[in-house]
Each structure stands twice: as structure tokens, then as C-alpha cells.
């Protein structure tokens, strides 16, 4: 969800990538929430493992999970790192669980707020340079 929001809202200025320690299939609630809340279709996205990006250079790395923050490999170029401790909305919920859908709505809203601030900060940084 964070990758899709960042890429959509940055207008191509930011190229976001997302990965984790234990990739699992895209949750249907994530697809539904992103479509309904933001009009973004993520149905074609797939989860990736961190290893996919271990040789790529990044300017910034934002971790959302406490476990990923601890296990994130050293990346080339020593990017700036930020951690947003966020709960996994799928934890303890199955695909038919209404409270699980609410957890995804809450996560999407929090991501939207944080990413909005991030993109504003990046724009300010670019204009100051």
C-alpha cells in the first residue's frame, strides 16, 4: 500500500519499492481499501523479499515493521533510514473478517498521512537545494 501511494502521489518524482522479510500473497482487504479510499488498483502488485533489493541504491529507506528494521541488510550507498512502527493489518484477521477490513482502512489512512508529510518534506528539500 505504501509503495502504491508514494508512487501515485509523487507524480513520478519518487520511485518507491516495497519488500519484507516474509512476503505473503497480497491481501484482498488491501486491494479493496486502496481502490475504495484512493482509487488506486494494486491487484497486480506482488510481495517481494528484501533480498530482491540488496544490491540496489536508495536515497531513503523507510521500514514499517519492527522486525524489518532490525533485519534490514546494509544497502549500497548507506541510504538515510527512517522507521515508522506500524502494526500489520493482516495479523490475526482472515479474509472474511470485518475487523480485518477496518484494520486495513486504519493502516491506509495512517500511511496516507505519513506519506503526505514525507512527500511535502522531500519537495521542500528539493526546492531548498
What's the structural domain count of the chain? Answer: 1
Specify the DSSP class assigned to residue 53: G
Provide the pLDDT confidence category of residue 69 given band limits of 50, 70 and 90: low
Is the pLDDT reported for residue 95 higher than 80? no
Residue 6 structural domain: 2-128
pLDDT digits (tens, 9 = 90+) for 3-49: 999 999 999 899 999 988 888 889 999 999 999 999 999 999 999 98
- Please tell me the predicted confidence (pLDDT) of residue 68: 66
Rounded to 5 degrees, φ, ψ at 63 are: -100, 145
Helix 2-9 vs helix 98-128: crossing angle, to nearest 10: 40
Q: How many whole angstroms separate alpha carbon 36 and alpha carbon 28? A: 12
Answer for the pair 60, 78: CB distance below 8 angstroms, yes or no: no
Query: For the domain that residue 55 is a member of, what is the CATH number?
Result: 3.40.50.2300
What value does the mean pLDDT take over residues 89-106? 83
- Please state which of the ranges 10-19, 26-35, 59-68, 69-78 shows the lowest mean pLDDT: 69-78
The reported pLDDT for the residue numbered 35 is 97
Q: Is the dihedral of CA 70, 73, 78, 81 positive or negative?
A: negative
The pLDDT value recorded for residue 1 is 96
Q: How many Å apart are CA 31 and CA 60, to the nearest integer?
A: 26
Amino acid at each position: 500500500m505504501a509503495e502504491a501511494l508514494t508512487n501515485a502521489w509523487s507524480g513520478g518524482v519518487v520511485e518507491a519499492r516495497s519488500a519484507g522479510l516474509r512476503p505473503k500473497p497480497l491481501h484482498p482487504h488491501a486491494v479493496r481499501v486502496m481502490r475504495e479510499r484512493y482509487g488506486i488498483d494494486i491487484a497486480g502488485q506482488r510481495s517481494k523479499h528484501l533480498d530482491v533489493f540488496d544490491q540496489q541504491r536508495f536515497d531513503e529507506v523507510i521500514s514499517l515493521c519492527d522486525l524489518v528494521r532490525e533485519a534490514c541488510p546494509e544497502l549500497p550507498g548507506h541510504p538515510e533510514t527512517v522507521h515508522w512502527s506500524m502494526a500489520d493489518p493482516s495479523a490475526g484477521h482472515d479474509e472474511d473478517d470485518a475487523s480485518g477490513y477496518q484494520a486495513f482502512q486504519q493502516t491506509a489512512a495512517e500511511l496516507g498521512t505519513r506519506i503526505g508529510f514525507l512527500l511535502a518534506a522531500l519537495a521542500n528539500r528539493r526546492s531548498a537545494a
